[in-house]
Structure 1
Amino acid sequence: MRRFPAFAKIAGLVLAGSLAMGAAGATWYMFSAPAVHRLALPADLVDASSASGRALLANAIAKTDYEQLVPEFVVQERPTFCGVASGVAVINAILHPQPRLTQLTLFSPEAAAVRSELAVTFVGLTLDQLAQLIQAHGLRVETRHVSQSSLEAFRGLVRTTLAEPKAFVLVNYDRRRLGQEGTGHISPLAAYNSERDVVLILDVAAYKYPYTWVPLTKLWDAIATKDPMSGQTRGYLVVSAGQLASH
């Protein structure tokens, strides 16, 4: 009986140490660049680097954004930084040749007042928070949730915006609706092929999936889902030069 308090104390220390190690491991994971682990695409999605993917781009009616975004494309540096990487890519494409933002310098004092780097690292971003982060850098941002839009309106916007210089579309969608692994994700669109009615997603989680052609109707279904963080339907942002917030 006399040994029990000592045993309990040791057990408590072991448990505390294990919890501390677990917390440290979780923190290390959240701040680490994701490991490269390419996954197979579902049959109805097309790798942009394949022969058929290159043909889709060659015949795309709207691909100005592809030419402007690819030089500024960045892979997300942390597991929750899909919105951050997407925002950095479009901001740099619009403000070129100004000095490039990085995924850390995106968090200027004005942007950090919206959502801090630490909060994004551990919790992520909603569509509206990403809009405000980008707007903090002096750009025009129009926010559209699915409840405020339609498939036809989205198709028309994609057709015109992706052919317009320095105007970009960021989409917030549920990967599961595309047959991919993961849940909510954000990435920019770069091109639209009207003959096949497919859009090109520059997936900022490039360690997992390549640039991918997706049927527009299927992407819309993936956007038309509820974001548990915001409690709202997902949607898309239209980002361009100038200052505007529209919700």
Structure 2
Amino acid sequence: MYRMVLNVAAAAVTCFSVAHAETMPLSENLIGLTSPEGQTLLLGSEASNDYFPLSIHFTTQDNPAYCGPATIAMVLNALNVPRPASKMTLGLGMFDQENIFTPAATAVKPAASIVNPPYGMTLDELGGVFAAHDLVVDVVHASDSDLDTFRKTAVSQLRDNDKFILVNYLRKSIGQESGGHISPLGAYDEDSDRILILDVSRYKYPPVWVEAATLFDAMNTVDADNDGNTRGYVSVGH
């Protein structure tokens, strides 16, 4: 059984390695998933139940403003939310970055507004779109939380097969370029106190392991497009 788990994990990491070849260089504080150290962290992580369903449904954002829709599609599929109707698939299709915008979701955030100034989605809009798909959602601004609470929440969600956690953070605060970004989390390693971000802009950066404190600080930054509130994290489940 252990050997099978190792083989499955190695295969999943290999899927990410193709995208890693052309990505931007990482700062010294980040560990790429496809590096030997990154793979070791995944295999030894204490909380990684979300990694496999998310990696199976991994979605690369369609354009620079679509990190939110890519993350939403990825998580809806990982949660096995009932698929949208389709003439081609008889209702058994997958969510993508277009059909996530049901009438209820569009009432929260129209797709067209994402690619126009101020671009992208805020933390509250992200949570609102998930709620529009009849999921249980908890939106937490970093200013209303703290590192320990975030870490405990992340570990709890990452150990639960039916719950996922997503983060909205400022890239430059973790040593990347440059603005706000949204992606799901895939695993947590206790020994290094690092969290795996499954970055949906894999044409730009690979999935990376970042220290929990660094990620929390990157979330605890003001989002000018969200009435001056801080960024933060969203827990999603049935």
With normalisation by structure 2, the TM-score equals: 0.84
Query: Alpha carbon RMSD of aligned pairs, Å?
Result: 1.3
Q: Is the contact between residue 167 and residue 238 of structure 1 (CA under 8 Å) also seen in structure 2?
A: yes
* 1:39-67 superposed Cα distances (whole Å, 9 cap, x missing partner): 10001100101110000001000000001
* 2:96 is equivalent to residue 102 of structure 1: yes
- Secondary structure of the corresponding residue to residue 159 of structure 2: coil
Shift of 1:87: 0.9
Structure (1 or 2) with the larger CA radius of gyration: 1
Query: Corresponding residue for 1:18?
Result: none
Instruction: Select the residue among 133, 139, 155 that pairs with 2:135.
Output: 139
Query: Corresponding residue for 1:192?
Result: 188
Shift of 1:97: 7.3
- Secondary structure of the corresponding residue to residue 176 of structure 2: coil
Q: 1:1-247 residue pairs with structure 2 within 5 A? A: 38-95=23-80, 98=83, 99-122=93-116, 123-230=119-226, 231-241=228-238
Unaligned runs of 5+ in 1: 1-35, 242-247
C-alpha separation in 1, matches of 2:112 and 2:224? 20
Unaligned runs of 5+ in 2: 1-20, 84-92
C-alpha separation in 2, matches of 1:206 and 1:140? 28
C-alpha separation in 2, matches of 1:66 and 1:201? 10
C-alpha separation in 2, matches of 1:114 and 1:37? 35
Q: Is the contact between residue 68 and residue 166 of structure 1 (CA under 8 Å) also seen in structure 2?
A: no
Shift of 1:234: 0.7
4+ residue runs over 2 A deviation: 96-99
Q: Report sequence identity in percent.
A: 40
Shift of 1:173: 0.3
Distance verdict in 2 for CA 1:170–1:84, change over 3 Å: same
With normalisation by structure 1, the TM-score equals: 0.81
C-alpha separation in 2, matches of 1:141 and 1:81? 20
* 1:128-154 superposed Cα distances (whole Å, 9 cap, x missing partner): 011111111111110000121110001
Counterpart AA for 1:216: A
C-alpha separation in 2, matches of 1:97 and 1:135? 14
C-alpha separation in 1, matches of 2:176 and 2:30? 10
C-alpha separation in 1, matches of 2:23 and 2:78? 26
